[in-house]
Structures are given as C-alpha cells and as structure tokens.
Amino acid sequence: MILVSGPLKLRVKISLLNEKSVFLKGISIHDENPLVEGRLRTEGDMRMMLEWAKDLGCNFVRLAHYTHNEKMIRLADEMGLMVWAEIPVYWTISWENEATYQNAENQLLAAIERDKNRASVIIWSVGNETPVTEARNKFMGNLVSKVRSLDDSRLVAAALEVEREGYTVTVDDPLGAKLDLASFNEYGGWYWDKPGELSKYTFDIHFDKPVVITEFGGGALAGFHGVKKTMWSEEHQEFIYEEQLKMLNKIDGLRGMTPWILVDFKSPRRQHPVYQNFWNRKGLISETGEKKKAYFVLQNYYESLD
C-alpha cells in the first residue's frame, strides 16, 4: 500500500496498491464459528470465513472489534486480502481512568508488535462508535499518536460518530481530524428511517479524506421470505442493501466499505424469540452457511467495480 499526499498536505489522499488506485471491497468479520459453537479454532475454520469473503468479491476484511487470531492475519496474507485491524475500544468506557487507557494502549502495542510485518494489514483502528466528549477525544487522540510512534507506514482510523438532521448525515467528529480516513458506521433503513427513504439522504463530511463506510446493514432470518417491506425477511434485507448502495454511491471520495456482517453471530442482546433467538441476524450468511439474498446484491455490486 502506497500513501500519496494530496494538495492540502493531508496524511493520505489516495490509496494505491501496486501503483493502482484501489477500492476497498470489504466485509466485517467476527472471530466466531457459525457452524460449531464458539470461536474460530482451526486454520480450516478461518480459511472458510476468508473464502466466503473472497467469494463475495472482497479484497478487504474488517476484523472487528478486537485483535483476531494471528493465523487469521497470516491466512489473509496468503489469500491476498487486505485487513482492517482493530482494538476493543467500543462505545462508552472510563475515558479518564489511566488504567483503562493503559489497557487500550497495551492491546494496541501488542497488536502492532505482532502484526507489523504482515503485508495484509493496511489499517490500524483505535476504536468503534465512541461517543464524543473532551475526555474521549483526548483518550482516542493519544491512541492515534501512539500508533504513529509505533508504525507510521499504515493508515490510522476509527469508526467515527455521525449526526443526522432531516435528510443530512453529518460527519464532523473531531477525532476525524487526526485520522487518515473519514470512516463511520450508519444504519439507514434499519435503525433509522425506511429503506425507501434513503435516496433522499446526503452526506456532509467535514474531512477531505478517503471515505470508508465501516458498517451498514440490517437483519434477516435466513429462509424467511416476504415482500420487501416485511421486517426480518430476506427480501427486506435485500432492499436495504439495494437502497444503501444507491445512497452511498453519491458520496464524493467513497473508497471502500465493510458492511455488517459476513455471518450471523451469537448475541445475548438479540432476544426476539422468533427472528433472533440470541443471534445477531445482520449476517449475509446464516449460522448454517446459507447465503441470504442480500449477499448476492453486494456480490454483484463488487463485481461491477472490477
């Protein structure tokens, strides 16, 4: 990965791979085996997940929201997949607690020390969806500085906070000024508004940097079908993806995405007894390996970018 500065002397303006501009065709992945309860245990488990990502058309994976097994990184090297590597700084934590900061910094140091020579790792992420406060800005900013002191050869990012007013999504999280990407999560059509309304939205991004959408999507129970407005149906998830991709294509500077998520995964917070049953159903593939209709929407989109 070669980094080229732009006219405003930003750290990164364009990303090149083998001297060619690259769009990061990605997907988010958890370290969880959908077929056998528990974590990915063997190289075969991990290879299966990355093969599914490659079949989807990906050249990039976001290993969220913590440091994954070293074998996963080595397999990404072997299989030619670029990697977003992340530490578990997530939502609201004790921003002013020095021990909490040291914990985060130690995890960052361990990840970079272990994987700094892995060609697949192109992005170090310092966190995900952390609400903006002065204490948080200082905490996260210090992590960014620490990354740069340890490895100044790669991009530094995080999933930033966004705001909505009317049909405008604003990205002006102050942490973005310190990062190399304008990267953020958004769940239009699922947690906010309806899929059919997404075409009305525009993005006001306050950073002249490459844009990477780190999460979007919606839930569907594999095998449950209905019309496109039927919640939890494969058709509804498919509709969300169709409208999301139309909306995101209007963003100037869009250079990649890692929708949430490759495979359904266990989640104690997802308690609907019919459609969830303690599974997060945002996967494009079910816990039995069944590809949902939205999988093919994203696959076709990625194929169109070749």
- The pLDDT tens digits for 210-259 are 999 999 999 999 999 999 999 999 999 999 999 999 999 999 999 999 99
**pLDDT exceeds cutoff 50 at 94:** yes
- The pLDDT tens digits for 98-136 are 999 999 999 999 999 999 999 999 999 999 999 999 999
pLDDT computed for residue 39 by the predictor: 84
List the domain boundaries for the chain.
2-304
**pLDDT exceeds cutoff 80 at 267:** yes
What confidence tier does 3 reach under pLDDT thresholds 50, 70, 90? very low
Share of the chain above pLDDT 70, in %: 95
Share of the chain above pLDDT 90, in %: 90
CB neighbours (10 Å) of residue 164?
A: 13
Q: Which CATH superfamily is domain 2-304 in?
A: Glycosidases (3.20.20.80)
pLDDT computed for residue 12 by the predictor: 37
- The pLDDT tens digits for 34-84 are 888 888 989 999 999 999 999 999 999 999 999 999 999 999 999 999 999
